[in-house]
Structure 1
């Protein structure tokens, strides 16, 4: 283009490239590492409440005499909390698509 005005064909190519760049900026491509990271985040968001619930339940069962199994109750509560937590993260990260 050595300083001259572009002809119609060059102008169309410039406009096409600019539109493609704008579209790419609006919808960035996510890599496989992003997917693995999200997979790990969802896994940990479920695993941590379950493990904490089981640990607390074992401690309560060892220190308090009861006909209820606090380990089982808190395992289920941790699983429910973990699933809600995972659902929140998936909705938050996937909501822009």
Structure 2
């Protein structure tokens, strides 16, 4: 048989799961406080870019006297960026 290829997604997934299993055996189950802290961080990862989008949009709307022309798209962009960041953070190896 040939050696498993590192570019194969199945091989990468199995190795990542094995590494997580070893880490869990070494460190044990996390505390409730740690889980709550992770949930809080996850919330801030999503909320902060959305708020920045709102503030930047409102500022641009004031400068250009454009109603909500900039606020709505920048809010959506901030939410998308926050959700993408949260997804990357949750799926980090």
> What is the TM-score when the length of structure 2 is the normalising length?
0.67
> What is the TM-score when the length of structure 1 is the normalising length?
0.65
Q: Which entry has the higher C-alpha Rg, 1 or 2? A: 1
Deviation at 1:41, TM superposition (A): 0.7
Equivalent in the alignment of 2:87: 87
**Structure 2 residues not aligned, in runs of 5+:** 1-21
Report the CA distance shift for 1:53/1:24 in structure 2 as closer, same or farther (over 3 A): closer
CA RMSD in angstroms, aligned pairs only: 2.3
The within-5 A match list for 1:13-92 is: 25-66=25-66, 69-92=69-92
* More displaced 10-residue stretch of structure 1: 74-83 or 60-69: 60-69
**Structure 1 residues not aligned, in runs of 5+:** 1-21
Size of the aligned set, in residue pairs, is 72
In 2: Cα distance, 1:52 partner to 1:24 partner: 36
